[in-house]
């Protein structure tokens, strides 16, 4: 009886192991597209919806980034033209002051019959074109008139360009707002589609995506090596954020993107991805930001937070809430998101692409 019981337990154990192997492939084994399709056979429509939502979010995110760059370009153009208008206005004022000084000097030397001609003229232009001024001032008056005409022509030209630039800026700002709305809608659609996936289908689809992202990241970073961060958790609750691999994408001012932007709801809790010590900051491009010096020597940078839940110098545990999602710094006016960086050598060292690491932890 005891032998039979032992034999039954042995069979049951083998059965459980076999079922576990079928349901949950061993960690580290590559997930194939066929496995995902088989696991999602009963929810094919939901998987297609999720894939389509992922693609739509990536397109929307790219469109928003393009719109942000376009607004930045036009803003810099406007600032340049505005500076030209200011400088030409100052030049025009100087020429007009010079002409008035010439008129006073001519009168003081007796070159003008009466100062009344100066005050009776309705403008400097009218005064300069009087025969008495031109005759008395001779060549100097002609040169002053030419300078005034040239300066006013340039000022008018730049003013027209400035007006056109303001109209252009209004248009690209409207495009940016539309792109932001589209991105937020795409993010909501992606999260909703993800929630519809069945358990095993969801697990395998996410693991497949993570592995594909890691392969792509390794291909891009072969020269630099892969990212090794040890134990790592998502800075958001998994399933409550959307992001794409935007490493190296152009940013305002000619910069390249050196992190991953994770989009989530405003004030969504943000967690310490690793135990360590934090330093808070407020200002510059990152707005409200946190540097987390991990206990493994790796530095993690969080930017654009709406607020802090820690104090600078505080020691934190992995998973502890350290802040809240926002859009401070140069993200002001845009969709709330966390700009996240990984610095394997700690703060001050070069950043590496965190996308594959985040994809493995957050999805």
Give the domain CATH number at 353: 2.70.70.10
Task: Determine, yes or no, domain membership for 248.
Answer: yes
Task: Determine, yes or no, domain membership for 5.
Answer: no
Task: Determine, yes or no, domain membership for 19.
Answer: no
pLDDT class of 157 with cuts at 50, 70, 90 = confident
Q: What are the residues whose beta carbons fall under 8 Å from the beta carbon of 326, sequence distance 6 or more? A: 266, 267, 287, 288, 304, 305, 306, 307, 336
Tell me: do 170 and 299 sit in the same domain: no
How crowded is the C-beta side of 136, counted as CA atoms within 13 Å?
A: 21
pLDDT, one tens digit per residue, over 254-269 is 888 999 999 999 999 9
Rounded Cα–Cα distance for residues 131 and 136 (Å): 8
Q: Calculate the average pLDDT of the chain.
A: 79
Q: What are the residues whose beta carbons fall under 8 Å from the beta carbon of 81, sequence distance 6 or more? A: 158, 161, 162, 165
pLDDT of residue 225 exceeding 70, the answer is: no
The H or E element spanning position 329 is none
pLDDT of residue 285 exceeding 60, the answer is: yes
Rounded Cα–Cα distance for residues 338 and 237 (Å): 13
- Is residue 363 within 8 Å of residue 210, measured between CB atoms? yes
CA-based end-to-end distance of the chain:
49
Tell me: do 266 and 138 sit in the same domain: no
Rounded Cα–Cα distance for residues 317 and 231 (Å): 12
Task: Determine, yes or no, domain membership for 12.
Answer: no
Tell me: do 133 and 37 sit in the same domain: yes
Residue written as token pair 């360590």: 276
Rounded Cα–Cα distance for residues 232 and 352 (Å): 15
pLDDT, one tens digit per residue, over 164-174 is 888 888 888 89
Which domain range does residue 240 map to?
228-363
pTM of the model: 0.57
pLDDT, one tens digit per residue, over 84-110 is 888 888 887 887 777 777 666 666 665
Q: What are the residues whose beta carbons fall under 8 Å from the beta carbon of 265, sequence distance 6 or more? A: 240, 325, 336
């Amino acid at each position: 009886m005891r032998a039979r019981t032992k034999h039954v337990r042995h069979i049951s154990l083998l059965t459980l192991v076999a079922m576990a192997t079928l349901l949950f492939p061993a960690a580290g084994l590559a997930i194939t597209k066929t496995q995902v399709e088989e696991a999602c056979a009963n929810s094919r429509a939901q998987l297609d919806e999720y894939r389509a939502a992922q693609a739509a979010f990536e397109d929307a995110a790219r469109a928003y980034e393009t719109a942000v760059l376009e607004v930045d370009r036009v803003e810099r153009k406007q600032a340049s033209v505005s500076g030209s208008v200011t400088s030409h206005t100052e030049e025009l004022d100087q020429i007009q002051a010079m002409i008035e000084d010439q008129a006073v000097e001519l009168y003081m030397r007796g070159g003008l019959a009466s100062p009344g001609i100066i005050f009776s003229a309705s403008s400097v232009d009218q005064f300069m074109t009087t025969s008495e001024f031109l005759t008395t001032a001779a060549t100097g008056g002609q040169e002053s008139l030419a300078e005034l005409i040239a300066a006013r022509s340039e000022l008018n030209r730049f003013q027209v360009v400035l007006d056109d630039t303001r109209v252009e800026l209004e248009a690209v700002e409207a495009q940016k707002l539309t792109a932001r709305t589209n991105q937020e809608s795409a993010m909501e659609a992606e999260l909703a589609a993800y929630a519809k996936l069945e358990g095993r289908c969801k697990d395998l689809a996410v693991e497949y995506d993570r592995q594909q992202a890691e392969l792509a990241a390794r291909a891009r970073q072969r020269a630099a090596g892969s990212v090794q961060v040890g134990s790592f958790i998502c800075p958001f609750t998994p399933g409550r954020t959307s992001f794409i691999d935007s490493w190296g994408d152009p940013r305002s001012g000619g910069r390249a993107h050196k992190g991953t932007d994770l989009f989530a709801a405003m004030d969504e809790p943000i967690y310490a991805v690793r135990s360590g010590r934090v330093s808070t900051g407020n200002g510059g491009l990152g707005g409200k930001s946190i540097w987390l010096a991990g206990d493994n020597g790796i530095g993690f940078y969080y930017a654009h937070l709406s607020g802090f839940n820690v104090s600078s110098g505080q020691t934190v545990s992995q998973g502890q809430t350290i802040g809240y999602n926002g859009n401070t710094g140069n993200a002001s006016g845009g969709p709330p998101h966390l700009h996240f960086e990984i610095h394997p050598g700690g703060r001050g060292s070069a950043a590496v692409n965190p996308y594959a690491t985040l994809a493995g932890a957050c999805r």
